[in-house]
Amino acid sequence: MKRITEGVCYIGVNDYETELFEGLWPIPEGVSYNSYIVQGEKTAIIDTVKILFVDEFLNNIEKVTSFDKIDYIVLNHLEPDHSGSLLRLLEKAPQAVIICSKKAKDMTDYLYKITENIIVVGEGEKLDLGGRELVFYMDPLVHWPETMVTYDTKDQILFSCDAFGSYKALDVGIFDDEVNPDEYFEETIRYFSNIVAKYVKYVQKAMDKLSGLEIKMIAPAHGIVWRKNPKRIIDLYIDLSARKAQPGVAVIWGSMYGNTKQVVEYVVEGVKEAGVPVTVLEFSRHHLSYLLKESWKNKAVILGIPTYDGGPFLGASYYLHLMKRKNLRERIVGFFGSSMWSGRALHQAAEQLKELDWEVIEPLLEFRGSATKEVLMQAKELAKKIALMTKE
């Protein structure tokens, strides 16, 4: 339990047990499920936590209030990492009324078979807690259709649920001024690209809507509370949702026998000569979660892809598929890779990315077997050219 303001406490939990968030994305530094308690004359709990941590969650609540004093449970989002402890909380606080959006009411029925004691709220509707007030803004498809955010008018806190959230548990502090915020900043980019990215259109709409609010603090449902510099994370979201990237190159490669790998260091050298940041990742050894993040973050990507069964090396195929699924558009891209007979991996990859309006920089450096000196020099030149383009 941690106090945020006089009437607002943090009652969330850390998860270091789950290896893959949503069964998919690695969380080596854990994740937090943030829940908050807001106390006026009446008391509201904002979101719950994943069921695995319900005992700790109920303990946290008891440190702040007794269960019979809980008047409302606000459900911003029904994904079970936030709604999972609802039934257990209602066992302790059966009088509590659920506050949620219209679509969330249906989902509360689907997931928990709860149909009563629910107040449905719409855009801009208010809940008077006596001495303070919560306002609800619908935020659909950031990243489920029932999502909303909750705004506390007294302390000007935005309880934003998944929006502005990040991976990485809260072990040393809950505020941006208590931890190294850069670490959470990076994990916010990864979280965004993994979870939210598909719905950037809706994120942009939501950002427009929230731009009219005075926001002193952003209190998301994962990661730190931004109280010192909420603008930093708001600006990041504006850029990410516009698919605006930074000057920099992600070099992502795969190799079965080392021929493609041999070229990587020349590519990296070329990028470095241009003086822009370079991140190097391997298709087979780094999770797609990180490949997606770096591709979202950087203006350019250079892909090293050997030919495999008449197409791109499998790891690269998964990557290409993911770019399409997440609809990552308008990056600059270059290619290199080894083949032995048919080749064509690079052409196929380039065609797929052109469909996403990626700018393919020629030449596609496909070579037979091991790279010649000439190919190595061409690779370095290509990389430098691409890196310089990201500065423009």
Ligand X SMILES: Cc1cc2nc3c(=O)[nH]c(=O)nc-3n(C[C@H](O)[C@H](O)[C@H](O)COP(=O)(O)O)c2cc1C
Binding region for ligand X (CB under 6 A): 255-261, 306-310, 338-343, 369
Shortest distance (Å) from residue 374 CB to ligand X: 17
Shortest distance (Å) from residue 82 CB to Fe ion: 6
162 binds, among Fe ion, ligand X, none (CB under 5 to 8 A by kind): Fe ion
CA–CA distance, 221 with 140 (Å, rounded to integer): 16
Shortest distance (Å) from residue 331 CB to ligand X: 23
With contacts defined by CB under 5 A, name the span among 42-50, 75-83, 126-134, 347-355 that binds Fe ion: 75-83
- Comparing CB distances to ligand X, the nearer of 34 and 262 is 262
340 binds, among Fe ion, ligand X, none (CB under 5 to 8 A by kind): ligand X
Shortest distance (Å) from residue 335 CB to ligand X: 13
- Comparing CB distances to ligand X, the nearer of 16 and 257 is 257
CA–CA distance, 237 with 200 (Å, rounded to integer): 10
What b/e sequence results for 139-168 when a residue is b if at least 16 CB atoms lie within 10 Å of its CB, and e otherwise? bbbbbbbbbbbbbbebbebbbbbbbbbbbb
Cβ neighbors of 337 (< 8 A, separation 6 or more) are: 260, 303, 304, 305, 306, 307, 313, 345, 346, 365, 366, 367
279 binds, among ligand X, Fe ion, none (CB under 5 to 8 A by kind): none
307 binds, among Fe ion, ligand X, none (CB under 5 to 8 A by kind): ligand X
- Comparing CB distances to ligand X, the nearer of 20 and 256 is 256
Position 81 contacts Fe ion (CB under 5 A): yes
CA–CA distance, 151 with 26 (Å, rounded to integer): 31
- Comparing CB distances to Fe ion, the nearer of 241 and 317 is 241
- Comparing CB distances to ligand X, the nearer of 75 and 267 is 267
306 binds, among Fe ion, ligand X, none (CB under 5 to 8 A by kind): ligand X
Q: Which of 71, 79, 294, 366 binds Fe ion (CB under 5 A)?
A: 79
130 binds, among Fe ion, ligand X, none (CB under 5 to 8 A by kind): none
Instruction: Let me know: does 160 contact 230? Beta carbons within 8 Å.
Output: no
Cβ neighbors of 231 (< 8 A, separation 6 or more) are: none
Position 162 contacts Fe ion (CB under 5 A): yes
Shortest distance (Å) from residue 301 CB to ligand X: 18
Q: Which residues bind Fe ion (CB under 5 A)?
A: 79, 81, 162
